[in-house]
Amino acid sequence: MVRALLLLLCAMAWAHDAAAPAESANVLILTDANFEETLQKHEYVLVKFYAPWCGHCKHLAPEYAKAADALQEQGSKTALANLDATVEKATAAKFNIRGYPTLILFKNGQEQEKYSGARTAEAIAAFMQEKAGEKKGDL
């Protein structure tokens, strides 16, 4: 019985880790409580609305983190952010999020457009640099 419980706990811990997006200190973490304030602090923010169980979200996470790191290293005035739409339901509902991942560009806190480009670090960084009028850098 104890062994079964330990196995269950280990499996739950592994599942939790596998569900978490690849992390970078340069990807902002948004909540219902800090969403508006955070978007006002940055002129351009690309928000990834995701679900922890979503396979496409898990696949995108390392590319998204790499793009955020590259933008930061290049001194970009843009920011990339994550919002767990399964937890932060009020904000997800406000933007009518129905599929995962959904990436939306905000400028000065206002929704501009959904991102529909390639899901690579290079494409995401280039999109953000173009929107901000910045010189595109190499990743």
Does the structure show a pLDDT above 90 at 19? no
Q: What pLDDT does 74 receive?
A: 93
Question: What are the residue boundaries of the structural domains of the chain, listed by start?
Answer: 2-132
Q: What pLDDT does 22 receive?
A: 53
The residue that leads in pLDDT, 16 or 136, is 136
Q: What pLDDT does 1 receive?
A: 56
Dihedral angle of Cα 41, 77, 63, 91, to the nearest 10 degrees:
20
Catalytic residue numbers?
54-57
Q: What pLDDT does 139 receive?
A: 58
Residues in the chain: 139
Q: What pLDDT does 4 receive?
A: 41
**Using an 8 Å Cβ cutoff, are 127 and 117 in contact?**
yes
User: What pLDDT, in 10s, does the model give residues 108-134?
Assistant: 999 999 999 999 999 999 999 999 999
The residue that leads in pLDDT, 104 or 13, is 104
- CA angle centred on 121, ends 43 and 132, rounded to 5°: 25
The residue that leads in pLDDT, 57 or 136, is 57
Q: Please tell me the pTM assigned to this model.
A: 0.83
CA distance from start to end of the chain: 51
If one looks up domain 2-132 in CATH, what number appears? 3.40.30.10
